[in-house]
Amino acid sequence: MSRLQIRDVSVLYPGVNGGEAVTALSGININIEPGEFVVALGASGCGKTTLLNLMAGFIQPSDGYLTLGDSSIAGLPRVACGLDLKDQISGPGKDRGVVFQKHALLPWLNVLENAAFGLKLQGVGEKERKARAADYLKLVGLEDFHNHPVYQLSGGMQQRVGIARALTNDPHMLLLDEPLGALDALTREVLQELLLDVWQETQKMMFFITHSVEEALFMASRLIIMSPRPGRITHEFPLEFNKIFLENRDARKVKSMPEFIAMREKVLGIIHGDEVAGGGLH
Amino acid sequence: MNQTTAATTPVNTEASFNTVVKPTILKRCLSIFAAGPVKPGESYGAPGQGKSLAISLFTTAMLIGIWYIATYFQWVKPLFLPSPGAVVMRFWEVATEGFANATLLEHTGWSMMRVFSAFLLALVTAVPIGIFMGVNRIARGIFDPIIEFYRPLPPLAYLPLVIIWLGIGEVSKIVLIYLAIFAPMALSARAGVKSVAMEQIHAAYSMGGSRWQVIRHIILINALPEILTGMRIGIGFGWTTLVAAEMVAAQAGLGFMVLNAAEFLVTDIVIMGIIVIGIIAYLFDMLMRYLEKKLVPWKGR
């Protein structure tokens, strides 16, 4: 297992029609250790998704670099900025599975084929890839839906397929971009518990984006709070509510613990303070 | 007490119903734009919902009826508008005895050969080029000005040039139709490529897909609905160009038959030819729609 490192990363988006450049992220430094469940929380526009896209290798930083173990995901260390090293930037790769807010499943494939799609791209034979996909579909509770067209499933089930698809590839880490944001409150709670179970079972590194404070506190083993203009990390908290849940299996009890409520108030205070300051700029 | 109220209330409501509801003619005319009550399975306010097949059949029957009546009472001279009966007679006559040294089947066969060769030729060239334009900026830079320049030109404008270059044989006829089909098919394929969702591409890359795999497994399949639409539009342009293609030195063909009949003022053959072309094009479009349903049931999902 290897850690994900982010060093001095900034992202500047050039201004539209000669307008001012926008600093989406500024001076980001974090490590994500094996087995961690890191949740990024913040208001819209604080650069959460930009950070995730960097980790996935979909975009390049204007400054700084990201590495996973020995391989470079995006950007290069300043000392090694030679042109010949550009080839060593891996970009997106199967070591980092992504679950999107909009499920991004392929409507022409059924549930099983969608879950097995990553293995198909890697040339794994049909029988084996379907067997492996079936294992993960069972893990997310979809063992009876193998042959359904994905566009006939509910939003929650589509997201389950998305999670199974990312897991089937057996990545080092999962990047989850507000995967539960579009779901109803009940489905959302069910999938929160499911994701924690998956985390416990597979011991994968997780990077999870949300703008729900309660969800962030419940899921995270480390919470990072981000703030906009420019996007940066302002606070970090180690948390253990997820471990408490995995022991007692009672989400309502965890979410009504005095410590949970106190933490929620604290985090809400931080975020609201930011929003007032941010709002003042308009 | 109870009995009297029960007896009087319905009378009262009926009276008030009769007095209140009397829309003006203007309101009645505008009411087709108002959202009305819906049947089960329909959603309130959705534009143009409901079945229209019966209305289409009625319209067709009405047109033929008016045509029949207008000719029966001699409102128009047969030279300008022959009767439906005369057209059917001509259909039978041309089908069995032929016109201008060829039977109807031969005319139809030649035309279909020209249109469908051009269509197949366009299918194997325009679709790959359109996809290439979608995924590669150099290909787009090369083909975009060429296609966008010639696309709005009427085929009759470059017909003389095609004949000077390629002669008066079959090649020039097929090329003329091919050019008409090529542009809409290539542009549809390109639009299909552009319509792919970025998340699907990103998902494939983060599952270890190569660029070629992303094109093959994501982009091409995503473009399929638009490619099929492009085929439908393209073949339509093909039939539109048929008459122009058969203007010069054709020995047979539906377009040639119509033009030849027009020269001798045989109006019933002109109308019969038009109807035959229309029916063939319509049948092919139905086949394409059926294919669309079978091949891309996920379209728009």
How confident is the model over A160-175, as pLDDT tens digits?
Answer: 999 999 999 889 899 9
Contact A94 B208 (CB under 8 A): yes
- Please name the residue that has the structure tokens 């509910």: A154
Give the pLDDT confidence score for residue B43 in this predicted structure: 78
Q: What is the mean pLDDT of residues B117-141?
A: 95
Establish if B208 touches chain A: CB-CB under 8 angstroms.
yes
Residue B212 to residue B222: CA distance in whole angstroms: 15
Q: What is the mean pLDDT of residues B84-96?
A: 92
CB atoms within 10 A of CB B154: 10
Residue closest to A36 by CA, chosen among A266, A238, A249: A238
A97 forms bridges with which residues in the sheet?
A174
Q: What is the mean pLDDT of residues A9-19?
A: 81
Question: Are residues A220 and A38 in contact, defined by beta-carbon separation less than 8 angstroms?
Answer: yes
Q: Which CATH number fits domain B86-295: 1.10.3720.10, 3.30.470.10, 1.10.1200.10, 3.40.50.720?
A: 1.10.3720.10
**Tokens read off for A178:** 């507000």
Residue B271 to residue B91: CA distance in whole angstroms: 10
Residue closest to A108 by CA, chosen among B189, B225, B91, B123: B225
Q: Which of residues 218-257 of B touch A (CB under 8 A)?
A: 218, 221
Chain A residue numbers with beta carbons less than 8 Å from the beta carbon of B297 are 149
**A4-95+171-280 belongs to which homologous superfamily?**
P-loop containing nucleotide triphosphate hydrolases (3.40.50.300)
pLDDT in tens, B152-168: 999 989 999 999 999 98
Task: Please count the CA atoms within 13 angstroms of the CA of A2 that sit on its side-chain side.
Answer: 13
Contact B206 A56 (CB under 8 A): yes
The nearest alpha carbon in chain A to B215 belongs to A121
- Percent of chain B exceeding pLDDT 90 equals 70
Nearest-5° Cα angle at B248, B250 to B285: 70
| Residue type (1 letter), B225 | P
Size of interface A-B (CB pairs under 8 A): 64
When mean pLDDT is compared across A101-105, A188-192, B132-136, the lowest value belongs to A101-105
Pick from A98, A108, A151: which is nearest to B203 by CB? A98
In terms of C-beta density within 10 A (0-12 exposed, 13-18 middle, 19 or more buried), how is residue A3 classed?
middle
Nearest-5° Cα angle at A274, A271 to A275: 90
Long-range contacts of B103-108 (CB under 8 A, 24+ apart): B104/B257, B104/B276, B106/B252, B107/B252, B107/B253, B107/B254, B107/B256, B107/B257, B107/B273, B108/B254, B108/B276, B108/B280
Q: How confident is the model at residue A18 (pLDDT cuts 50, 70, 90)?
A: confident
Pick from B202, B208, B213: which is nearest to A169 by CB? B208
pLDDT in tens, A43-81: 888 888 889 999 998 988 888 888 888 778 887 765 555
Q: Where are the alpha helices (DSSP H) in B154-298?
A: 155-166, 170-194, 198-205, 211-214, 220-245, 254-263, 267-295
The nearest alpha carbon in chain A to B295 belongs to A108
Contact A104 B203 (CB under 8 A): yes
Pick from A94, A122, A151: which is nearest to B298 by CB? A151
Q: How confident is the model at residue A87 (pLDDT cuts 50, 70, 90)?
A: low
**Tokens read off for B47:** 């534009």
Give the pLDDT confidence score for residue A276 in this predicted structure: 53
Q: Is A276 left (phi over 0), alpha (psi -120 to 50) or beta?
A: alpha
Q: Is B253 left (phi over 0), alpha (psi -120 to 50) or beta?
A: left
Q: How confident is the model at residue A275 (pLDDT cuts 50, 70, 90)?
A: low
pLDDT in tens, A97-132: 999 988 789 999 999 999 999 999 998 899 999 999
Strand A71-75 versus strand A63-68 pairing type: antiparallel
Strand A4-13 versus strand A22-32 pairing type: antiparallel
Tell me the shortest Cα–Cα distance from A255 to chain B, in angstroms: 33
Give the pLDDT confidence score for residue B3 in this predicted structure: 47
**Would you kindly state where each structural domain of chain B is located, as residue ranges?**
86-295
Long-range contacts of A196-204 (CB under 8 A, 24+ apart): A196/A37, A196/A242, A196/A245, A196/A246, A197/A139, A197/A246, A198/A139, A198/A140, A198/A163, A198/A167, A199/A37, A199/A242, A200/A246, A201/A139, A202/A167, A203/A34, A203/A35, A204/A35, A204/A167, A204/A171, A204/A172, A204/A173, A204/A174
Residue closest to A56 by CA, chosen among B29, B268, B208: B208
Residue B10 to residue B8: CA distance in whole angstroms: 6
Question: Are residues A169 and A115 in contact, defined by beta-carbon separation less than 8 angstroms?
Answer: no
Average pLDDT, chain A: 86
Contact B221 A108 (CB under 8 A): yes
- Percent of chain B exceeding pLDDT 70 equals 92
Q: For residue A85, is pLDDT > 60?
A: no
Establish if A13 touches chain B: CB-CB under 8 angstroms.
no
Q: Which of residues 63-82 of A touch B (CB under 8 A)?
A: none
**Tokens read off for A164:** 């199974």
Q: What is the mean pLDDT of residues B126-144?
A: 95
In terms of C-beta density within 10 A (0-12 exposed, 13-18 middle, 19 or more buried), how is residue B149 classed?
exposed
ipTM computed for the complex: 0.88
Establish if B298 touches chain A: CB-CB under 8 angstroms.
yes
Higher pLDDT among residues B57 and A273, named by residue: B57
Report CA A105 to chain centroid distance, whole Å.
Answer: 17
pLDDT in tens, B180-197: 999 999 999 999 999 999
Q: For residue B8, is pLDDT > 50?
A: no
Q: In what order do the strands lie in the sheet with A232-238?
A: A96-99, A173-177, A205-210, A37-41, A222-227, A232-238
pLDDT in tens, B201-247: 999 999 989 999 999 999 999 999 999 999 999 999 999 999 899 98
Tell me the shortest Cα–Cα distance from A25 to chain B, in angstroms: 21
